[in-house]
Amino acid sequence: MAAFGAVDMALWDIKGKLAGMPVYQLLGGKSREGALVYAHATGADLPDLMDSIAYYVDEGYKAVRVQCGIPGMPSASYAVPEKKGDIRNYITDYAGIRPKVEVWDTGKYMRYMPDALMEIRDHFGPDLHILHDVHHRLLPREAAEFAKAVEPAGLYWLEDPTPAEDQNALRLIRQHSTTPIAVGEVFNSIWECNRLIENELIDFIRVAVTYAGGITHVRRIVDLAGLHNVRTGFHGAPSHSPISMAAQAHLNAWAPNFGIQEYLVLGTSECNALFPSEHRMENGLMHVSEAPGLGVDFDEDEAGRYDYTPGSHPVVRLEDGTMWNY
Ligand SMILES: [Mg+2]
Cα(305) to ligand 1 centroid in Å equals 31
| Catalytic sites, residue numbers | 78, 135
Say how many Å lie between the first and final Cα of the chain, rounded. Answer: 22
Domains held by the chain: number: 1
Q: What is the distance between the alpha carbons of residues 128 and 146, in angstroms, rounded to a whole number? A: 21
CATH of residue 59: 3.20.20.120
DSSP secondary structure letters along 60-118: T-SEEEEEE--TT-SS--TT--SSTT--S--GGGGBSSSPPEEEE-HHHHHHHHHHHHH
What residues have a C-beta under 5 A from ligand 1, the ion? 133
Q: What is the pLDDT of residues 15-65, one digit of tens each?
A: 999 999 999 999 999 999 999 999 999 999 999 999 999 999 999 999 999
State the pLDDT at residue 1.
93
State the pLDDT at residue 320.
95
Q: What is the mean pLDDT of the chain?
A: 94
Q: Are 87 and 42 in contact (CB under 8 A)?
A: yes
Give the pLDDT band (50/70/90) at residue 299. Answer: very high
Cα(186) to ligand 1 centroid in Å equals 9
Of 88-97, 122-131, 149-158, the range with the lowest mean pLDDT is 88-97
Q: Are 278 and 261 in contact (CB under 8 A)?
A: no
State the pLDDT at residue 85.
86
pTM for the whole thing? 0.96
- Domain holding 79, by residue range, is 2-324
Give the pLDDT band (50/70/90) at residue 94. Answer: low
Q: What is the distance between the alpha carbons of residues 291 and 278, in angstroms, rounded to a whole number? A: 8
Scored b (16 or more CB within 10 A) or e, 237-257 reads eeebbbbbbbbbbbbbbbbeb
Q: What is the pLDDT of residues 211-270, one digit of tens each?
A: 999 999 999 999 999 999 999 999 998 778 899 999 999 999 999 999 999 998 656 788
